[in-house]
Amino acid sequence: MKIEFERLEETVIPHFYAGEGETRARMFLDANGKIMRGSLAPGASIGLHTHATSSEIIYILSGTGKALYDGETERLLPGQCHYCPKGHSHSLINDGTEELRFFAAVPEQ
């Protein structure tokens, strides 16, 4: 199955998980999970949250940022992947000077 993100409606989520600014995303959702391409402007973030029933994979397409993962900070650059397993907590923060673009998958488990 092919997913064409440009054909999906862009969703703007203010203060996603109590983060700063807004998250912009084009998402495919079904009973098996969520697949999205998103972005954070400089200074924006997805707030700290726990994956109680699923894991999440975030691949950085462009820009720079960091993930807070179980109390530790992980620097994220283009081409790097952040993984948050089920039962763990994380956030995504754009602390760079350009838009942080990412691809994420949240499979239902």
pLDDT tens digits, one per residue of 55-92: 999 999 999 999 999 999 999 999 999 999 999 999 99
Domain ranges of the chain: 5-107
**What is the per-residue pLDDT for 108?**
85
Q: What percentage of the chain reaches a pLDDT higher than 90?
A: 98
Task: Evaluate if residue 109 carries a pLDDT over 90.
Answer: no
User: In 3D, which of 85, 65, 84, 86 has the Cα closest to residue 76?
Assistant: 65
Q: What percentage of the chain reaches a pLDDT higher than 70?
A: 99
**What is the per-residue pLDDT for 98?**
98
57: left (phi over 0), alpha (psi -120 to 50) or beta: beta
Name the architecture of domain 5-107. Sandwich (2.60)
Which CA distances in Å does 101 have to 36, 52, 62, 73?
A: 11, 25, 5, 19
